[in-house]
Structures are given as C-alpha cells and as structure tokens.
Structure 1
Amino acid sequence: MKRRTLLTTGPLAAALVAGTAACSGKIQTNQGGGGGASGDGTTIPQLTFPSEVAENVAGIKNFNPLSPNATSRTYFYEPLMIRSSMNCEIVPWLATEFEWASETTLIFTVRDGVTWSDGEPFTAEDIAFTLNLKKEFPGADDIGLWNETFGAPAESVTAEGSTVTIEFSGLAAAKFDSLITAKIFPQHVWGEVGDPVEYVDEEPVGTGPFTVGSYNGRQLVLARREDYWQADKVAVQELVLEGNYDATNAALKLAAGDLDAYWGEIPNPEQAFASKDPELNHFWYAPAGSTVLTFNLTKAPFDDVAFREAISQGIDKDEISAKSTYGVMAPASQTGLKLPYAENLLPEAYAGQDTVIPFDTAKAEEMLDAAGYAKGADGFRTLTDGTAFAPKFMVQAGWIDYQAAADVVVRNLQTMGINASVQTSPPEAVDQHKKDGEFDLLLEYLHGGCEVARNLGSKLSSDQVPTADTVFANVGRWIDPETDEIVAELSGETDPEAQKELTGKLVEVMMTQFPVTTLFYAPARMIYRTDKAEGWPSEEDPYGTNSEMLMIMTRLVPPSA
C-alpha cells in the first residue's frame, strides 16, 4: 500500500532531508510559486542587479545555462521544482507534483498551460528530451542523473500525456534535489543543436518570466513576459543586469539607488550599508553551510582523534566569527547541520544542547598533555614519539574572511603550544594541494543543503576523496567503512524516520571523531533596498536565498504606502 505524505514546511521540512523527495507515495504540493504582485495593476518598473557573467567574459552573448560563461542562467530556462535552501520546502514549478511509485520509479506531473517564449506549448516531452539529452551527451549531465554519484543511475526517462517517468537501476533518493534543478529546454529548438554543451544560445526560447530586451556587451536588459505562466506573480517589468562590483563600489551603488540588490561580500554590512538608511537599506546573510577547519587525516598528528578533539576545544569560534564576518555569522554547530533550520534532524542525545564546541584553552592543553603531545624545551609540543612538528595552515590569498579566520586559528594553536604558521597561496595552488593531499590544515566549505547524504555525507564518504584532476568534498581524506555504509544507506533511504536515524549516525561521527572542525556558518549574502520592491527574504521571513532568484521574483511587490 502506498503511503501519502503531505509536504511539510518550515524547520520540520529539513527533517525529511531527501525524504520529502523520497517517500514511497504521492506528495501534492501547492500550485503556485508564492506571493507576488497584488494583481491590481501595480508594478515594479525596474530593478537593477549585478551581472551574472564574470567581467573578463563580458560581451559574450550566450544564454546556454550549461556554458560556464552563460550571460544569464537564471531567468529563461526553468527547473522542475524549487527547493528552498532555508526551510527545505519544495515549491512546484514546471512540475506540479511528484510521486515515488516505487523505490526506483519517480513520476512527475507536468504543469498545464505553460508556453515557451516563442508561443509553442510546453509538454512532458520537453522534460523527457532534456533529461535524455544528458544521457546522450554526458558532459551535459550536470545533475548526475545517469551516473552513480549518490544513488543509482537512471535507466530510462519517458513521457506519456502529462507525466514523466524516471526508472532508476537501484535506490536513488539522494538524486532528487539535483534532479529537480535541471533546466528544461524546448525540444523543437534544442533537438537540432547537437552537443548541448557546445551550443551558443544567442536567442533563448524559455519558459521563464523574462525575454531578452537588449544587450550591449555590458548591460543586459530583460523584459517581463506578459504570457508567462505565472505572470500575475511577477511585478518586475524590467530587470537590468550590469556590472561586476567590488565591495566598495557595490556599497556606493546601493547607497545611491543605482543597484537594488547585491550578493557579493560587503565587509561589515551593518556599518557600510544598513546603518546609512535603516528604513530602506537591509541585508540578510542566511546560513548556507559551514566554514570548517580541515585536517589532513593521512598525516600525524591529525590522524589522532584525541589531537583533533583537543584542537577543536582550543579554537575561539566567537573571535573567528567577529574577525571573519564582523559577527554577522554565528559559530557553527559541530554536528555539521545548519541549525536551527535542521534542528529536527538532531538525534535525541543532542536535542536541545549547544552543539558548538566551547572555547577552553586550559581544557585543550590538558587533553593534549593526556594524549602524549608534550611540550619541548622551546615550549612547543612534539609528536608522541618526541619528533618536532610545525604545521602549515594553508589559506587562499585574497580571501579576506579565510585569512582572518586562519590568523585566529594559528594564534590559538600557538597558545596551545603548537608551532603553527600561516602559508598564503593562490587559490589555484590551494586547490592543487587539495587534489594531491599535500597540506596540513586548511579551510573549506561544508554545504548545508537539504540532501544530507550529498552534503554532510559527501564530506565523509571515501568515494568523494579528491583525485588528481578534481577536488571532491572529502578533502581531509576521512576513510571509514562504517561511515561509507551509513552514507550509502542514506542516499537510497525513502523513509523520513529512517533518514533521521541515519543522519544522527553522521552527526555522531562529527561530534565524537572530529573529521573536520566547524567554525562559523558561511553566508548566502543578500543586500538590498526596499524603495522599489519589498518581499525580499529576511531573518523574519526566511523563505529562500539568492540561490532561489526565480522564486524571489514571484515574491517581490511594490513598496507599501
């Protein structure tokens, strides 16, 4: 008998992890994309955002979202669904609902009444065509549908009427979040382009809310589609994308009203921007994941859990937050989960507890002494065999927040008697050391997304160790067969309660084995003005982040009187 599960919103949705996508049964979601224009004729004439394309490739006209230098990859081609990175709610988009008919069969129901921007009807065949194109041209499989990454590969994708059915070769629940992000292409256009990765798309035909108004190589002007399938929810008539601004210029542009929103880093946004006009100037740095201290677990003493735990105890995360983020981002939970948004995933043993490892130098030193890392005549600690060691903390040059964090960590290590120093290197050099495993300590990002198997799990899975060519998530080289089994089981699990239990086992690894040490939450930045538009995500209404701009466009309304 199939189990029908209603979609849960808010923090509880995080407890479903892949489970909202993986329950054996049908999930009916609400049919709209959120709030938006009031429908009484009021509009937002124009908003200006930074360009989506890097300055060094500005001038290229290519709207292919598979291109690394797409002029825009947000506003033309749409996904099946949008999952809020904050509350994990799944919002229907080109698909209105989905059903796991079995553990290996996923069925999407396609929205009626959608047209492509050239007037042709959008159909289930367009979805099947797009997904099968990723099989024919593996370079286009940006969602991992046809490979074995976090779940079994697809065997077939077929369309019939208003449904699309995906048959997998095995358990594939953890593929859901990436699958629903696939940008859907029109078969009547893209069926003739050959390799989609190589296609230069100068005149996009999409289902999205905008069409190209003009582009002069610097400024892209998008015009609202009157026939967009949810046009009544899009109040913005014209969207201007221009400029690649540094923090100083962005703050000036925002203050002058020449820029309405910005996603880059502005140090101390409260002082630099919000305080200048508290009525109109706002920011929200939502937690997207965690910045973590990564040990090279293949080298002594970092292969010793007692050493790692002591280090975690002796690092001042409050000071790191203050120095790196001006206190905007809170110290991160050692669980690896994004709290409080995923608090319902916490196992009973940690529920209601402060899972940020407290700063206690004296306790850290006691732990190091007890573990055999004694101080030598020079005051610095040696390895357990008496060998001197002086670890290098590798940090990317120009990454101001990472450099500030590294300075505090190294000072904390020296206070504990560890002869550590900072080694500043170009970002590409740091990536190379991640690939070859030649490092002692460095900082990394741990994604806080809703698919725990793909995020926390990838940081701990042995098949995610970097290769000579690719930086995968398990940079520290945590190798543990039991952990691998947990991640594999979680990747295919369809029952929410079982998912929570398995997530709890990964939390236990983080809390007791310290494969990485979490420092502070990493931000998804959103800095904005409210003189032209209201309805932006905020701490009070955390419905999404800058990763969900399509959804945000349906929530923006003209400012209230």
Structure 2
Amino acid sequence: MKNANVYIKAARVALTAALLTASLAQAESVFRIARDAASLASVNLNPFSGGSQRLYPTVSAIYETLFYVNSLTGDVENVLGTSYKWDKTNKKLTVTVRDGVKWSDGQPFTAKDVEFTFDYLKQNPAIDGSALWKNGLTDVKASGNTVTFTFKDKNIPVFVYIAHQPIVPQHVWSKIKDPTTETNTKPVATGPFLFQSANNQSIKVVKNPNYWMKGYPKIDAIQWEVVGGADAILLKLLRGDADYSYANIPDIKNVYVNKNPETNKFYWPVTGGNYLYFNTAKAPFNDVNFRKAIASAINTDEVALKAYSGLVKAASPSGIIPTQQSKWLSKATAAKGLTFDVNKARDFLKKGGYKVVNGKLTDKSGKTLPTFKILVGAGWTDFITMAQVIGNNLKQIGIDTTIDQQTWGSYSGGLQTGTYDMGISWGWGGGETPYNLFFQSFAPEFSAKVGDTAASNLTRYTKANITSSLKRFQQNSDPAVQKKAIDTIVNQFVTDVPFFPLTDRVNFTTYNSKNFKGFPTDQNPYYDGGADDQIGARLLFLNLEPK
C-alpha cells in the first residue's frame, strides 16, 4: 500500500510538471508571419549574400546596422551608431558607435568591428553591393568609439548606404576567407533575436536575452511560414493562424477587414509610384509633345480606382510620394504637373504636327501611326488593369494600343534593353528623399544604348540641368541647396515627361491584431511594413508586444 501511494504521488508530480511545461509553451508569444512562397531558401544567414539567397531573419532580426533611415519620412533612427556628422568639406563622415553592446557570443562590440566590416567589403568587392569603394570611399578608420569615413568626392546621399550596411564581428569574419560561399549557419550578431531553426517550410528565431536594449524585444519568437498564395494567406489570417503577411488581397475591405474590424487590419503605406515609361530612344516617344499628349489623356483617378478598388490613390505628377511632398515639393512646381484633360492632349498633338486623317492619327510626315504596345508583367492584374484603362483613354485622341504581357525575364529585359514602346513599372530607384528616384532614373551612368542593358534609366532620357542638379544635391548637406536642386529636377521632369506617374505604389501589409499590438499605421509610419529580410523590420519586431 505504501508503494502504491509513492507511485500515485510520483504520477501527480509528473502530471503537474507536464501541465506546467505545456502552460509555458502555450504562453510563449510567437509572432507568425505567413509568406506566399513555394519554399524557403536553404539555410543561409550570411548578411553579405543577396537578399534572395538568405533567410528572412538575417538582417531584419539577427544582424544590425549603424542607423536606419526611414524611406517614408527620411527620419534617421540610431542603432549601433549614436550620432554622425559631416565635416566642412563634406568628404569626411564621422560616426560615433554605441557603448555597452555585446555580440551574441559575449564578446564586446567596438568601433573596430565597424572598420573591419567596411574594409572587408574592400577586400571582397563581390559583396560590396552598394559599390561604396568603387564610388568614392577611400578610407575607414576607427579611433576610440568613433569611425571616420573618407571620400574622394562630396556625396552626401551615400550616407544611407553607410547607415544600412550590416555590421559583423571581426573576431568571427576575419577567419572567413570567402564570404561569397559562406552560409553562416551559426550567426554571431548584435540583434534582438537569435536563430533557432529552419526548413523549407518555416523559420524560427527566439529573443536574445542579452540584447543591449533593456526590456526588448517584448515578444518571445518570430516564425515565418510558407503559405501557398493570397487565398490561403487570407484564410490563415481570418482564422487567426497568422498574425502578419505581405499579400495583395483583392477587395480586402470586404473579404477581410469587414469580417472583424476590431482585429482585421491592413497597412498599405505609399513607398513609391507606378509609372508609364516612354522609350524616348524611338519615335514618336522621343517627341515631348507626343508624350505630353498621352499623359494628358490618361485619367489617373480611373486607373487607380480600377486597379486597386479605390484603396490606392492616383500619383502626384511630380513623382514625389505623399510623405515627402511637404519637405521637397513646392506649390509652384506641383501646379505645373499635367492632369487629365483630353482637349489639352489634342492641343499637344496638334503642336507636334500630328493629325487625324480618315479616323487615323498620322505624324507630321503624314504616316499613319501603328498600334503601340504597353509592356506589363504576365498575370500582374493591377498592371494589366492599368494598361486596359490607358488603352481606352488613348482611343479618345486616336492612339491605338495593345497589352504586351511578358514573363519576368522578358519584361525586365525589354525595359532595360529599350526594346519596348511604353511600359508600366515601379520606380527603379527610391528611398528617403526624391533624389534616389531621380538619380536612378536619369543619371547618365544608369543608361545605355538601345540593345544594351540599362541598370535603371529605362527611358534613356538625360538632361544637362538634371545631371548638374543631381551632382549639386550629392555635394551639399545644406537642406536649402538640396531642395532647390530637387525643385529644378522636378520642373524639368514635369516639362519633358520621360515617364508619367500613374498611381501610388504601396506595401500590401495585412495583419491580425488579436494577439499583438504596436503595428505601424498611417498615423505612426515608423516603418513601411515589410516583414522580410529588410533592416527596417527590426523596428516592427521591437515595437510589437503581446496583448
């Protein structure tokens, strides 16, 4: 009997322990992110690898940078750096690094780690994704808790590339001879989370208990899960089986938000624009009057309404996104942008010598214009809808079009080699100021002759005063000088219309707030919303806390 009691007590203890373990497991706050993918990348946590090659947590949760520059507002957030300053020549940038930070293996983080990271890029040009050493960086030197970057020429916008470079520990990476092949499956970093596990269907990271921000992170773990398509993501969000996702869910208000407005939310911040690109290397798109006629004939409100069910607005003709307009767009310049006006479109055609003969539009030589192709990505319903609206709009002024759907390789290749007529795409450049868009779009070094690949100047349009204004912006840290440079660029842009802004471009962030709070909103746009391998996602993960 005595033995029986002992067995009963032992069983109760075991049961109590099991229940406690289960309770603790249930209490773990895991932030679940649903991603539309066939599978996840192989286990690669190398911060120098390309974004498509490494796992989502690499620079979003594990590694950190010196600063984070908010692409929506331009605000600079201190991370491993606490301050920065250009000298009077604008050729030397001094960064003060944070004290009291430790790597996840317990070793102290110092300014020498920063110096090493940038020297490592110089020693291994293949991993210098921002081409810092090819574009003017000549020296990086640590002294105490500061690091000084020296440049050959003035280039203020380069700051963001310095700011956003993930920093690695010298005592680990100095032993790695070929960073291009390193998968770094046991990362040593300073970030708020530590890598736990990964397979082709999920990735999990857990909080770093020794993170340098006391009391953070407030969530225990993050898990990325593969979900096949927007419909499946929608179901997981509706059931509460996922907390967050990036997916363009059609009619999102009716199919998701209205099912439970208290918890079912979406955050679609404007991060750029969708544009109608003109191939200015071929006639008649090399004629400014023809381009302005097309731009004036397009009802961008209708384009936005039909492409995004009214949830995304028509773009500003200036090309500058809403959160940057108050700082960079003057009222006088804004007023010069072309707006929907069919009569004005006909006036531009007349000015360019175009005439309607027997119901067909002819050029100044009397030759009937052909049907023009509008290049879009195959199956991209928003761009296809835009092209349909544009085609119907242009019929009013005698221009016929057809939609040219191409798979990604042919789509991007057509734009970059200049073999298209018109094409719909996003801005192939963007960031915390309008400079980023205009630099990538119009700098001569990003163009190429037709048939060769242009990096980002898809229109092959350049203008001397735009080029000089880009240089002036680069070389000055004075906000007034920079604003004047942008004003000059925008004035020329709306005058020549090498591409025409159609709609704002957004990040399609959808979330369920049942279990967590602290998400970015239109009222508090501390981040643009993506939860993939982006350095700004660190702010999302640090702001979240369980309800």
Q: Do these two structures clear the TM 0.5 threshold for a shared fold by scoring above it?
A: yes
Does residue 369 of structure 1 match 2:369? no
Counterpart residue identity of residue 417, structure 1: G
Report the 3-state secondary structure (helix = DSSP H, G, I; strand = E; otherwise coil) of the residue aligned with 2:316: coil
Aligned residue number for residue 33 of structure 2: 49
Does residue 385 of structure 1 match 2:365? yes
Give the distance between the partners of 1:231 and 1:141, measured in 2 at CA.
Answer: 33
Distance 1:283 1:356, change over 3 A: farther
Report the 3-state secondary structure (helix = DSSP H, G, I; strand = E; otherwise coil) of the residue aligned with 2:361: coil
Give the distance between the partners of 1:134 and 1:470, measured in 2 at CA.
Answer: 26
Aligned residue number for residue 456 of structure 1: 438
Aligned residue number for residue 33 of structure 1: none
CA deviations 1:522-546 (Å, max 9, x no partner) are 0022211111111111112122112
Aligned residue number for residue 301 of structure 2: 318
Report the 3-state secondary structure (helix = DSSP H, G, I; strand = E; otherwise coil) of the residue aligned with 1:50: strand
Aligned residue number for residue 198 of structure 2: 215
Cα displacement (A) at 1:437: 1.1
Counterpart residue identity of residue 407, structure 1: Q
Does residue 143 of structure 1 match 2:123? no
Aligned residue number for residue 95 of structure 2: 108
Report the 3-state secondary structure (helix = DSSP H, G, I; strand = E; otherwise coil) of the residue aligned with 2:233: helix
Matches within 5 A, 1:95-244: 95-102=81-88, 103-148=90-135, 153-244=136-227
CA deviations 1:398-423 (Å, max 9, x no partner) are 21111111111112112221122111
Report the 3-state secondary structure (helix = DSSP H, G, I; strand = E; otherwise coil) of the residue aligned with 1:170: coil
Distance 1:302 1:345, change over 3 A: same
Give the distance between the partners of 2:167 and 2:362, measured in 1 at CA.
Answer: 57
Counterpart residue identity of residue 498, structure 2: P
Cα displacement (A) at 1:77: 0.9
Greater helix proportion: 2
Cα displacement (A) at 1:448: 4.4
Does residue 555 of structure 1 match 2:535? no
On the 8 A contact 1:347/1:501 being kept in 2, the answer is no
Cα displacement (A) at 1:248: 0.7
Counterpart residue identity of residue 428, structure 1: G
Does residue 527 of structure 1 match 2:513? no
Aligned residue number for residue 76 of structure 1: 62
Give the distance between the partners of 1:215 and 1:127, measured in 2 at CA.
Answer: 29
Cα displacement (A) at 1:59: 5.8
Distance 1:469 1:280, change over 3 A: farther
Cα displacement (A) at 1:312: 0.8
Give the distance between the partners of 2:448 and 2:263, measured in 1 at CA.
Answer: 45
Aligned residue number for residue 339 of structure 1: 322
Aligned residue number for residue 410 of structure 1: 391
Give the distance between the partners of 2:161 and 2:437, measured in 1 at CA.
Answer: 12
Counterpart residue identity of residue 367, structure 2: T
Aligned residue number for residue 72 of structure 2: 86
On the 8 A contact 1:158/1:165 being kept in 2, the answer is yes
Give the distance between the partners of 2:528 and 2:453, measured in 1 at CA.
Answer: 28
Cα displacement (A) at 1:558: 2.8
Counterpart residue identity of residue 179, structure 1: I
Counterpart residue identity of residue 441, structure 1: M
Q: How many residues are treated as equivalent by the alignment? A: 508
Does residue 304 of structure 1 match 2:287? yes
Give the distance between the partners of 1:216 and 1:291, measured in 2 at CA.
Answer: 35
Aligned residue number for residue 424 of structure 2: 443
Give the distance between the partners of 1:525 and 1:158, measured in 2 at CA.
Answer: 41
More displaced stretch, 530-539 vs 442-451: 442-451
Aligned residue number for residue 10 of structure 2: none
CA deviations 1:87-116 (Å, max 9, x no partner) are 211010010110112310001100011111
Report the 3-state secondary structure (helix = DSSP H, G, I; strand = E; otherwise coil) of the residue aligned with 2:516: coil
On the 8 A contact 1:66/1:196 being kept in 2, the answer is yes
Report the 3-state secondary structure (helix = DSSP H, G, I; strand = E; otherwise coil) of the residue aligned with 2:480: helix
Give the distance between the partners of 1:512 and 1:175, measured in 2 at CA.
Answer: 28
TM-score by length of 1: 0.87
Higher Rg of the two aligned structures:
2
Aligned residue number for residue 22 of structure 1: none
Give the distance between the partners of 2:120 and 2:323, measured in 1 at CA.
Answer: 39
Give the distance between the partners of 2:147 and 2:114, measured in 1 at CA.
Answer: 7
Unpaired stretches in structure 1, ≥5 consecutive residues: 1-42
Give the distance between the partners of 2:273 and 2:316, measured in 1 at CA.
Answer: 8
Does residue 349 of structure 1 match 2:329? no
On the 8 A contact 1:44/1:558 being kept in 2, the answer is no
Report the 3-state secondary structure (helix = DSSP H, G, I; strand = E; otherwise coil) of the residue aligned with 2:204: strand
Does residue 287 of structure 1 match 2:260? no
Counterpart residue identity of residue 96, structure 1: T
Give the distance between the partners of 2:425 and 2:110, measured in 1 at CA.
Answer: 42
Cα displacement (A) at 1:470: 4.8
Report the 3-state secondary structure (helix = DSSP H, G, I; strand = E; otherwise coil) of the residue aligned with 1:381: strand
Q: Which runs of at least 4 in structure 1 moved beyond 4 Å after TM superposition? A: 466-471
Distance 1:509 1:134, change over 3 A: same
Aligned residue number for residue 26 of structure 1: none
Counterpart residue identity of residue 558, structure 1: P
Give the distance between the partners of 2:512 and 2:452, measured in 1 at CA.
Answer: 42
Cα displacement (A) at 1:358: 2.6
Cα displacement (A) at 1:209: 0.8
On the 8 A contact 2:469/2:489 being kept in 1, the answer is yes
On the 8 A contact 1:460/1:478 being kept in 2, the answer is yes
RMSD: 1.9
On the 8 A contact 1:292/1:516 being kept in 2, the answer is yes
CA deviations 1:133-156 (Å, max 9, x no partner) are 1111111111221122xxxx1110
Aligned residue number for residue 64 of structure 1: 46
On the 8 A contact 2:73/2:323 being kept in 1, the answer is no
CA deviations 1:479-502 (Å, max 9, x no partner) are 222221111221222111000000
Counterpart residue identity of residue 442, structure 1: G
On the 8 A contact 1:324/1:402 being kept in 2, the answer is yes
Cα displacement (A) at 1:340: 4.4
Aligned residue number for residue 12 of structure 2: none
Cα displacement (A) at 1:67: 2.3
Unpaired stretches in structure 2, ≥5 consecutive residues: 1-26, 531-535
More displaced stretch, 256-265 vs 279-288: 256-265
Give the distance between the partners of 1:99 and 1:345, measured in 2 at CA.
Answer: 22
Counterpart residue identity of residue 527, structure 2: G
